[in-house]
Amino acid sequence: KREGKLDRDDPVLRLHAYNSQRKTLRVQRCNYSDGLRSNYAMDLKGHIKLGAADVSFRAVLQAQYGRRLPPLSDTRLSNAVGIAMVLFYKTEHGEILPYLPRRAKPGIVSETVGTTKKQAVFSGGYHCTASGETMWKDAARTFKEVFTQDMCRELYEEVGLTEQDLQWIHPVSFCRELLRGGKPQLFFAGFTKVPPSEINARRRDAIQRQIRQGRQEIEDDVLIADTPEQLYAQLWSHGTIEAVANMTFAQDCAILAHRARQF
């Protein structure tokens, strides 16, 4: 809160168990701040003392589980389910490109609201088209109601595109992130026929909405490369680790979609 990274504490969805045979998820409700005290704080030191040495939460878990990730049932971790997507679009010349905006840098100064709040994670790098935590909804039951619709909510908040603007959207991977203690992550890929000029206008409108709310999430800048090799070179240099991971799975989905003439 002192650093301006937490302006609200929404209820989010945590993963308690996953049955790979039945392909079912057992979920629970927690608060966004629970993640800031666990998965997002794996390497902070100075709050837990064992003997004379300051140790991190990661060291505590490693002492218990060794080189394995903690089980999802370990309630010391919030394990809120992250959602992210890479959206593809078609240029005026018929090229298919991924839409990768740059995340806003800390403490952007706005003429209307002054200095905006800092991003909790991934500030300043080229990122997925949209990302966030899965919001808890009491009435939601199906995968689409819980995850896909929430992904579309994030898409509108961050870049101004809606579910109606998508020709298709598919989940492409469900995994756990090593750096954040095995935090669950659901990756999507999608395609929109909205032309680039309209995409840019929607992004700028979304940025203005963010500024009015005191938190600018993205800048008016996107990663554009001439070749796939150049794209990945720039991603590794200037992208977020989540964008690299999402692109790895999204490109495979895009290849299949191209073969099925879904572009």
Spatial separation of the C-alpha atoms in residues 93 and 229, rounded to whole Å: 19
pLDDT of residue 106: 65
Spatial separation of the C-alpha atoms in residues 261 and 263, rounded to whole Å: 6
The pair of three-digit structure tokens given for residue 87, joined into one six-digit string:
């959206």
Radius of gyration of the chain (CA): 19
Q: Which amino acid is at 136?
A: W
Q: Which residues pair with 101 in a beta bridge?
A: 222
Q: Is 114's pLDDT higher than 60?
A: no
Averaged pLDDT for residues 207-222: 92
- The residue that leads in pLDDT, 140 or 84, is 84
pLDDT digits (tens, 9 = 90+) for 218-244: 999 999 888 888 988 999 899 999 999
pTM equals 0.89
Averaged pLDDT for residues 28-38: 94
Spatial separation of the C-alpha atoms in residues 209 and 10, rounded to whole Å: 19
Q: CB burial class (10 A; 0-12, 13-18, 19+) of residue 27?
A: buried
Q: What is the chain's mean pLDDT, rounded?
A: 89
pLDDT tier at 89, thresholds 50, 70, 90: very high
- Least trusted range by pLDDT, from 79-88, 137-146, 197-206: 137-146
Q: Is residue 154 helix, strand or coil?
A: helix
Pairing of strands 11-19, 24-31: antiparallel
pLDDT of residue 52: 56
